Every structure is written in C-alpha cells, then in structure tokens.
Amino acid sequence: MRIAFLGTPDFALPSLRALCDEGHELRVFTQPDRKKGRGCKCCMPPVKELALELGIPVEQFEKIRSPEGVEALTRFSPQLMVTVAFGQILSREILDIPTYGCINVHGSLLPEYRGASPIQQAVLDGKKVTGVTTMMTDVGLDTGDILLARETPICENETSGELSDRLAVLGAQVLTETLRMLSKGELVRHKQDDSRATRCRTIKKEQGKIDFSRSAEEIHNLVRGMNPWPLAYGRLCGNTVKIHETALRPDMKTDAKPGTCIIASPKQGLFVATGDGVLEIKVLQCPSCKALPAKAFLNSKNPLGECFS
C-alpha cells in the first residue's frame, strides 16, 4: 500500500519501522530540522533520521496545511495516511487526499486523554492502566472513530519516558494489525463516547514544582510524570534541585513538617516528610551538576533537618 507517514519524535519510530518491514511504499512528512542545545546545532527530527537510514523519501514542512504541503501530499497520491505524534493539526483538505483516509496512533485508551500529553498525564494522575488506540483521524482533536485498542499496566515506579518507549512499541504492533485488517476488509469502526472524554494539554515546566504538602503518592506520580522532561523540582538550601527519581515508603511514619529532610545519610539515603507519608528521594540534581544517586549526593552535603520548598 502507498502510505504517507506523518510523524516527528522518537515515539513514531517503531511504527515507521514496522510499516517499512511490512513492505509498504512510504514517504515521510515531518517537521523541519530544529536548532537544539547550547551550541544551537541544527538537528533532524528522529523520524527523518530513521527514514533516511531506511531509504525512505522525506519532505519537511513548517505547516503541512500550507499550499506547498497540500501539493506535496497530493502529488504523492497516498492510498492511506498514517500519523504518529506528528504535532500538527490536519485540515479537511488534507484528510480527503488519501483513498482510505488517515489512521492515527494515539498513546491512550480513547476517549480518555485526548490531546497533546496522554502518556505523561496518565502517569501524573497515578493511573494503573493505559494503552494505545488506532483511530480514524477527523478534524476534531482525537475525536475520530476507534479502530483497535490494546491495554497495558503502568508500573508503580515507571516514568513517562519509560512508558512512552513501551507504548511506542505497542503502538507499532497495533498499527500493523490495524492495516492487516484494513487490507482484508475486516476493520470495524466504533464511535467514541464523548461523555467519557477527558482532555490533556501540553506539559509546561512550571508544572514540575513540587508541593511537599501533597501526599507522598501524588509527589511520586509528579516526579515520574515529569521524567524525562521537564523534571520535577524543589528548592533546598537555597538551590533549585531537580528530582529525577523517588520511591514510596509506606513503612515509614513522621510528624515532621512537609518538606523536612528527616533522614539524610550517605549510608541510608535521603527521606523527606510530605503532607501524607514519607518519600525517598533516590536521584537528584543540583544546578550545573550531573544527576546523582542520593547517597552519592549526601557524601558532600548534609541537609538533615533542612526543608524543601
């Protein structure tokens, strides 16, 4: 099948590779190269890198809805369009180009978590189960008909980055199954129940600020959800400290003020009082320093009795 693949970040890579392995005729449409890092080096989107490695033609557009983008898609004349974390809204004009429409791979069990950050939001909300959905794209925000969905549990200490890696692989599997069913005429479309829909917005850096008056579980979910970006943080001893990893300690109790470092030992680790329970901080990072396990961090600092704010 001749497929126009629209995707940008790492999450889209397993799906692109799977379509290539299935022998489809592909053309990739992705976003432009961007300057990144302190050196402002121009970097290709991950999807472009893989496409070039696989010998797949690539076209890049700041806005795929531009006349040039529409013309390029029309010229390719795809039978199907597949979108995976593309990062741009598609117009009706574009959706009408492919013969069989447009299939999207979404990182949640729709209609839950429509929007930009379904994987992070599931972790932030402390969900125990999530999944991947393939859907027919329409002009709404993740409102199209559901094709296939697969569940997976979320582990207690799993970060959004780790979960995203797993869902990317699961998404590729579900996409492959979806296209095989399409080719056999076996796909069944299911309308979404809009009354059950939830929305999630783009994650912002300021959302990572830890309020230690919240419960240990809520803070733990925040730390997991903000990893690998933008990372949760708090202030300790006058410095903004990024928190990479924590662990729940239901076996420990304290009456200390929330944020207080109740144990700070190179042998035992770093344990902080919260509004409900104790949280172990396992990996943290001071400004201009690399991330360190708490025990290594405490070899040079002793914040016992100090408070996170």
* pLDDT in the model for residue 35: 78
User: Mind listing the pLDDT tens digit for each residue in 209-227?
Assistant: 999 999 999 999 999 999 9
> pTM here?
0.95
**Sequence-separated (6 or more) residues with CB below 8 Å from residue 67:** none
Question: What single letter denotes the amino acid at residue 231?
Answer: L
Specify the DSSP class assigned to residue 229. Answer: T
Residue ranges, CATH 3.40.50.170, the chain: 2-200
CATH number of 2-200: 3.40.50.170
CATH number of 205-297: 3.10.25.10
Which residues of the chain form beta strands (DSSP E)? 2-7, 25-30, 34-36, 41-43, 58-60, 80-84, 102-106, 114-115, 129-136, 146-153, 199-200, 232-236, 239-248, 261-265, 269-273, 278-285, 292-293
At 39, is the pLDDT very low, low, confident or very high (cuts 50, 70, 90)?
Answer: low
Question: Among candidates 190, 195, 9, 182, which has minimal Cα distance to 107?
Answer: 9
Would you say residue 272 has pLDDT above 70? Answer: yes
Average per-residue pLDDT for the chain: 96
Cα 130 to the chain's mean position, in Å?
Answer: 12
Stated as kind and residue range, the H or E segment containing 120 is helix 118-124
* Rounded-to-10 torsion of CA 151, 230, 137, 9: -100
Strands 80-84 and 102-106: parallel
Exposed, middle or buried, 176 (CB in 10 Å: 0-12/13-18/19+)? middle
At 120, is the pLDDT very low, low, confident or very high (cuts 50, 70, 90)?
Answer: very high
Radius of gyration of the chain (CA): 22
- Of 38-42, 131-135, 272-276, least confident by mean pLDDT is 38-42
Residue ranges, CATH 3.10.25.10, the chain: 205-297
